[in-house]
Amino acid sequence: MTTITLIWITLPFLLGFIIYLVPKLDKYLALGAALASAGYAAQLFVAQSPLELKLLDNFGVTLTLDELTGYFILTNALVTIAVILYCWQSDKTAFFYAQTMMLHGSVNAAFACTDFISLYVALEVSGIAAFLLIAYPRTDRSIWVGLRYLFISNVAMLFYLVGAVLAYQTNHSFAFSSLRGAPPEALALIFLGLLVKGGIFVSGLWLPLTHSESETPVSALLSGVVVKTGVYPLVRCALILDEVDPIVRIFGVGTALLGVFYAMFEKDTKRMLAFHTISQLGFILAAPVVGGFYALTHGLVKSALFLIAGALPSRNFKELQHKPINTSVWIALVIASFSISGFPLLSGFGAKILTIKNLEPWQVIAMNVAALGTAISFAKFIFLPRGGKDEVKPGFWPGVILLLSGLVVANIVYYDAYTVANIIKPLATIGIGWLVYLFIIQRLAVKLPRVLEQFEHLVGFMSLMLVLLFWMVLA
């Protein structure tokens, strides 16, 4: 099993290099690597016990592969497959597929690592690959958005690296467990880097511009899997260290509320989805013990929604009210919106029920408010007019059908959720959300300021978050 694991980790990087040498095979090699990841993730669910590898003792690579890792790796695999299918008949070059493989491999590595130095390398490689994909169109706008993302990411990783060194000084180990007994500044610095990388709370205000301005398939990758490279270590640390769990849960609640507040009033489809990504990352952190399943559900549905948003006749919700959508596209949009709102028969229902049942008492009200905000936000999609004749890209349906099918199949993971009480509550929440949207939100002309997303403020927020983390750790 150790040999298989090492082959699986190196395969995307190897195939990415081969794509440069044999560009005519780019799509096939990329698809093969993603399918291999899906197969490996399936094997992790079958395995009776977790696999732990220590390849270079205290100084090197520590890998933990268990059910939690399996959820995140499966998310990466399915989203990558969907994006490759979406781009299959496009004019994307071998460079695009090679960088997609670099991103896929580094994200897989980030989900497998349980030591801070290996994770640092994986996060940096994923950041560079993501930058190259964001800047792929080579327009002035895309290059600026990519450089903005790269700068914020690298600054955050510098804080993270200093924290990792401080943790090593205490316990002479880079393992996640070395945070136990480490000085408070180590925890604060490491968490700052991960919060920024994962788009959590105000540290994540870089995310809406980056995800909304990227090309449609890149937006799907960023929102579906890349941001989870910062979330996964937080979930893992919360499960390993009891003293970290309350901090992670607090940020989960704050992130869920902040993201959904912006999403409710956003008038741009892709920006609304990006803000809602922030909110959904909060749901993953709010109940770390079930965060893996929620991450899978969110990755599938949000990637589908970004692909569908790219097929809409406009990005402006007001304009879409007067531009009927292709009926087939509208049905796909409604299915995805139902899932993320928690409608029964889709995995979003089980994920939300499972999360709510694993909350602390002080979290329940706030997370129910966030769930209501989700229903309000996606009512904007559900009540759009249909009947348009716009054609979609040739690769649109294979990618979207795969992701939506995943939402249906993943629904069986938590079939115990189907009790009368559990079904009534989300239906009531969705119904109330629709009423609030139709009679209040739809009639409001609120335009939230974007000043907090400006580059200089993003750097300033890092300082504020560092102060907040110091206070939380010391408290």
Per-residue pLDDT tens over the stretch 395-423: 899 999 999 999 999 988 788 888 998 99
Between CA 355 and CA 359 the distance in angstroms is 7
pLDDT given at position 48:
74
Mind listing the pLDDT tens digit for each residue in 226-265?
A: 999 999 999 999 999 999 999 999 999 999 999 999 999 9
- Which pTM was predicted? 0.96
Positions in the chain short of pLDDT 50? none
Look at residue 417 in the predicted model and tell me its pLDDT: 85
Q: What's residue 457's pLDDT?
A: 87
Of 336, 316, 311, 327, which Cα lies nearest the Cα of 401? 336
Cα 197 from Cα 17, distance rounded (Å): 26
pLDDT score, position 376: 96
Q: Are 33 and 101 in contact (CB under 8 A)?
A: yes
Distances from the Cα of 128 to the Cα of 9, 112, 288, 362, angstroms: 18, 19, 28, 39
Q: What is the pLDDT of residues 203-224, one digit of tens each?
A: 999 999 999 999 999 999 999 9
pLDDT of residue 58: 55
Give CA–CA dist 156/229, Å, rounded.
Answer: 13
List 386's β-bridge partners, or say none.
325
Distance between CA atoms of residues 451 and 440, nearest Å: 25
- Is residue 205 packed enough to be buried (19+ CB in 10 Å), middle (13-18) or exposed (0-12)? buried
Which neighbouring-strand residues pair with 224?
A: none
